[in-house]
Chains A and B, each alone.
Chain A
Amino acid sequence: MSSTTATPFVPAEIKHGSLKRERRWALIGAYIALAVFVLFFMIPPFHMLMTSLKSSAEIADLSGNPWIVSAPTLQNYWELLTEGNYLIHFRNSVIVTTCTVVISMIISVMAAFALARMKFWGSATLATGVFLTYLVPETLLFIPMFQIIGSLGLYNNMWAMVLIFPTLTVPFCTWIMIGYFASIPKELDEAALIDGAGHLQMLWKIFIPVALPGILAAMIFAFTVSWAAFIYPIAFLVSSDQMVLTVGIVSDLIRADTFQWGKIMAGALMAALPPLLVYAFLMDYYIAGLTAGATKG
């Protein structure tokens, strides 16, 4: 046996700034940052959830802890779903949002295709113009919009929202789609042209499937804007049966200075559910890059 085997093994000292060590610290840093981020953004929904599970008496009891429920109850949820107009507001929101998304997508996909691909005089200026309209805030527009809606006889009619919301969504959706369509290689439409496709077939059979991630992104945007819109509905809708969720909750559950906090929180939480589901399911498609393999690479 040689003498070297008897020497106890001394691990090499980890050098300061070694790759492994740096990676570990980067990961720890990332997790801390993410934890802070998650905590910060989870506090409001958690508070909402806790409040929604409390009875009115418990909410009013100032000696209790606002973060803990002592006697959890589904009373608020039950009352919302069985009494009042909450379900009507929910239905109105679904109708208005669905129509808005469909209308926005039809208009913006076709507009974007024309602006991105069918080069015509002024198409570049028009594309910029479309985006500029998005920059005008709705707080500036709702007074003139009020006159238009009034003259159309659509005041206090939820279908007015179907008319108005696309003005908020179409410009930005068009802008997203122009970007997506522009990223599709020009040869793809030329190949389709030679294969015998007309412009509509090209749009339907090539552009829409290839740009699906972009379309989903635009749809998510349109959905979010329409579902969460507040200024127009509160300005134009007055009777409860015409209201959408955003206005319905604050109008019906706040009477003068009486705030039904438990129900407001329960209603808001349930109203947040559809966006949550949409994001959860569409995110994967949204991220998947469909254009891979179209051309070289």
Chain B
Amino acid sequence: MAQVTLRKVVKAYEGGVQAVKGIDLDIADHEFVVLVGPSGCGKSTTLRMIAGLEEISDGEIAIGGKVINDVPPRDRDIAMVFQNYALYPHMTVFDNMAFGLMLRKFPKEEIKRRVDNAARILDITPLLERKPKALSGGQRQRVAMGRAIVRDPKVFLFDEPLSNLDAKLRVQMRTEIKKVHQTVRTTTVYVTHDQVEAMTLADRVVVMNGGIIEQVGSPQELYHNPKTRFVAGFIGSPAMNFIPGRLENGAGALRVHLPNDIVLPVPAERTARYQNLAGREILFGIRPEHLTEAKNLDRPHFAPMTATPEVTEPMGMETLVHFKMAGAEICGRVDPLAPAAPGQPLPMAVDMSNMHILDPQSGRVL
């Protein structure tokens, strides 16, 4: 059993700066949890507190039900993969992977068996006698993972392990990491600032910002039901569009009234939810993929509008169009065959069933 529990965990530095401001988190056995957020949000600090590399200022961290606040890193039964690999430069790949086991006085045969096994999983058997400097970035990262796997620890900790790799290798290693997790099933805490990595790898994503947890949920949940403006804007690429406006009753139905007299009808099934907000200032949120060319206008919740793209970005499978709407910079996603060109008015549709209404003051999704 290797669940990880964080209770009101605080990391404060001298001078009163709090990097982590009392977070609670429960990570289940075998779960793959990704901590994601912008630089300085406290995600790495949280991971390092779990590892024992940073002291916990307040609160409690438990691994497998045992509080480990005062347990040194080596006795926490964890393994960590670092952003810059942190391989021992004077040791061969084999020795790098075996080092932890040797320090723990494992018998030679057992060490060899484990290293060979991990090398097979990671496909690095031919590299075992090489030194780190003779390896490519991707190979070094595999060795770093191998060093974690051979230990068969309770928890894997990954600290931005793919940040130093080029884009193509990153995608490849992402798949590798997922594959390894599906094989060894070790509880994993993974830190990244890349929301794509977070979405693709995680069973559950923990979005952090300013030392607190904004939201915890499955990738789908965060994408479709963000709870705060930060999560709504952070998850998804390109980011969600936000336009300030007002909810109002008109023509017998609830409508979103945006500047420049743009009026969008609220779908009937959501009227009840927003009825009591009528007359209030709101923030209207809509993802680029829900602002598309006008092809589904026959569906009830698609509202028509016209956009004049300022910039178009053909991506191959889709084209991103950037335009101004109600005074805001907006991004939409259209079919690559749609007649999108800068300066040419383009009929578009807003999928109102996927809209989000936020409180402009608190930033909460209503």
CB-CB under 8 A from B53, the residues of chain A are 190, 193-194
Complex CA distance for A202 and B135, rounded to whole angstroms: 24
CB-CB under 8 A from A205, the residues of chain B are 99
CB-CB under 8 A from B131, the residues of chain A are 293
How many residues of B are counted as interface, with CB atoms below 8 angstroms from the partner's CB atoms?
32
The answer to whether A196 and B103 touch across the interface, beta carbons within 8 angstroms, is yes
Pick from A185, A193, A196, A293: contact of B132, CB under 8 Å: A293
B323 within 8 A of A: no
With A193-B73, A196-B74, A296-B164 as known contacts, state yes or no: A187 contacts B89, CB within 8 Å: no
How many residues of A are counted as interface, with CB atoms below 8 angstroms from the partner's CB atoms?
25
B236 within 8 A of A: no
The answer to whether B86 and A195 touch across the interface, beta carbons within 8 angstroms, is no
A210 within 8 A of B: yes
A188 within 8 A of B: yes
CB closest residue in chain A, given B87: A294
Instruction: Bits for A179-219, please: 1 = Cβ < 8 Å to B, else 0.
Output: 00000010110111111111001000110011010000000
The answer to whether A201 and B103 touch across the interface, beta carbons within 8 angstroms, is yes
Complex CA distance for A261 and B135, rounded to whole angstroms: 59
B99 to chain A, nearest CB (A): 5
Complex CA distance for A174 and B154, rounded to whole angstroms: 40
List which A275-297 residues lie within 8 A (CB) of chain B. Answer: 290-296
**Known contacts A188-B88, A195-B103, then 17 further A-B pairs from the complex at CB < 8 Å, ordered by chain A residue:** A187-B86, A190-B53, A190-B82, A191-B82, A191-B87, A192-B88, A194-B73, A194-B78, A195-B147, A195-B151, A196-B103, A206-B88, A292-B89, A293-B89, A293-B132, A294-B87, A296-B140
The answer to whether B134 and A293 touch across the interface, beta carbons within 8 angstroms, is yes
A53 to chain B, nearest CB (A): 46
B residues near A (Cβ < 8 Å) are: 51-53, 72-74, 78-80, 82-90, 99-100, 103-104, 131-135, 137, 140, 147, 151, 164
Q: How many A-B residue pairs have CB under 8 A?
A: 86
Complex CA distance for A210 and B73, rounded to whole angstroms: 22
A57 to chain B, nearest CB (A): 58
With A210-B88, A293-B133, A294-B132 as known contacts, state yes or no: A196 contacts B82, CB within 8 Å: no
A233 to chain B, nearest CB (A): 38
A residues near B (Cβ < 8 Å) are: 185, 187-188, 190-198, 201, 205-206, 209-210, 212, 290-296
CB closest residue in chain B, given A292: B133
CB closest residue in chain B, given A294: B89
CB closest residue in chain B, given A208: B90
CB-CB under 8 A from A296, the residues of chain B are 84-85, 137, 140, 164
Complex CA distance for A197 and B132, rounded to whole angstroms: 20
CB closest residue in chain B, given A295: B84
CB closest residue in chain B, given A187: B86
A36 to chain B, nearest CB (A): 39
A280 to chain B, nearest CB (A): 24
CB closest residue in chain B, given A293: B133
CB-CB under 8 A from A188, the residues of chain B are 86, 88
Pick from A192, A195, A201, A291: contact of B89, CB under 8 Å: A291
CB closest residue in chain A, given B133: A293
With A293-B132, A293-B134 as known contacts, state yes or no: A196 contacts B100, CB within 8 Å: yes
Can you list 13 contacts pairing A with B, beta carbon distance less than 8 Å? A187-B86, A192-B88, A193-B53, A193-B73, A193-B74, A194-B100, A195-B74, A195-B100, A196-B104, A210-B88, A210-B89, A293-B133, A293-B140
The answer to whether A290 and B89 touch across the interface, beta carbons within 8 angstroms, is yes
CB closest residue in chain A, given B80: A194
The answer to whether A194 and B74 touch across the interface, beta carbons within 8 angstroms, is yes
CB-CB under 8 A from B83, the residues of chain A are 187
A246 to chain B, nearest CB (A): 37
CB-CB under 8 A from A206, the residues of chain B are 88
**Nearest 8 A/B pairs, CB to CB:** A293-B133, A187-B86, A295-B84, A195-B100, A196-B74, A294-B89, A293-B132, A191-B86
CB-CB under 8 A from B104, the residues of chain A are 196
CB-CB under 8 A from A292, the residues of chain B are 89, 133
The answer to whether B135 and A293 touch across the interface, beta carbons within 8 angstroms, is yes
Pick from A187, A209, A210, A293: contact of B82, CB under 8 Å: A187
B14 to chain A, nearest CB (A): 12
CB closest residue in chain A, given B82: A187
The answer to whether A294 and B164 touch across the interface, beta carbons within 8 angstroms, is no
Complex CA distance for A196 and B100, rounded to whole angstroms: 6
